[in-house]
Amino acid sequence: MTIKVALAGAGAFGTKHLDGIRNIPGVEVISLIGRELDKTREVAAKYGIAHVGTDLAQSLAIAEVDAVILATPTQMHAAQTLACLQAGKHVQVEIPMADSWKDAQAIVAAAKSAGKVAMAGHTRRFNPSHQWVRQRITQGTFNIQQMDVQTYFFRRTNMNALGQARSWTDHLLWHHAAHTIDLFAYQAGSPVVKANAIQGPIHPSLGIAMDMSIQLQAANGAICTLSLSFNNDGPLGTFFRYIGDSGTYIASYDDLYNGKMEKIDVSQVAVSMNGIELQDREFFGAIAEGREPNASVAQVLACYEVMGQLELQLAG
Alpha helix ranges (H) inside 48-189? 56-60, 77-86, 101-114, 128-139, 178-188
Give me the pLDDT at residue 220, please: 98
CATH at 179 = 3.30.360.10
Backbone φ and ψ for 306, nearest 5 degrees, come out as -60, -45
Half-sphere exposure of 260 (CA within 13 A, CB side): 2
Residue 316 within a domain: no
Say if residue 116 is in the same domain as residue 133.
no
Residue 308 within a domain: no
Residue 232 within a domain: yes
Say if residue 193 is in the same domain as residue 151.
yes
Domain range enclosing 76: 3-123+275-296
Q: Number of H helices and number of E strands within the chain?
A: 9, 14
Q: What is the pLDDT along the chain (316 residues), one digit of tens a residue?
A: 899 999 999 988 999 999 999 999 999 999 999 999 999 999 999 999 999 999 999 999 999 999 999 999 999 999 999 999 999 999 999 999 999 999 999 999 999 999 999 999 999 999 999 999 999 999 999 999 999 999 998 776 655 555 555 554 578 899 999 999 999 999 999 999 999 999 999 888 878 889 999 999 999 999 999 999 988 888 788 999 999 999 999 999 999 999 999 999 999 999 999 999 999 999 999 999 999 999 999 999 999 999 999 999 999 8
In the chain, how many domains are there? Answer: 2
Say if residue 21 is in the same domain as residue 135.
no
Give the separation between CA 74 and CA 96, rounded to whole angstroms.
7
Say if residue 221 is in the same domain as residue 241.
yes
Say if residue 290 is in the same domain as residue 214.
no
- Residue among 44, 98, 33 nearest 68 (CA): 33
Residue 311 within a domain: no
CATH at 95 = 3.40.50.720
Say if residue 71 is in the same domain as residue 180.
no
Q: Give the angle subtended at the CA of 138 by the CAs of 25 and 224, to the nearest 5°.
A: 100
Q: Are strands 248-252 and 237-244 parallel, antiparallel or unpaired?
A: antiparallel
Say if residue 81 is in the same domain as residue 162.
no
Residue 66 within a domain: yes
Residue 310 within a domain: no
Model pTM score: 0.93
Whether the CB-CB separation of 28 and 3 falls below 8 Å is answered with: yes
Say if residue 191 is in the same domain as residue 279.
no
Residue 202 within a domain: yes
Count other C-beta atoms under 10 Å from residue 201's C-beta: 8
Residue 304 within a domain: no
Phi-psi region of 251 (alpha: psi -120 to 50; beta: other; left: phi over 0): beta
Say if residue 100 is in the same domain as residue 184.
no
Say if residue 291 is in the same domain as residue 210.
no
Give me the pLDDT at residue 163, please: 56
Whether the CB-CB separation of 290 and 103 falls below 8 Å is answered with: no
Say if residue 139 is in the same domain as residue 119.
no
Say if residue 265 is in the same domain as residue 131.
yes
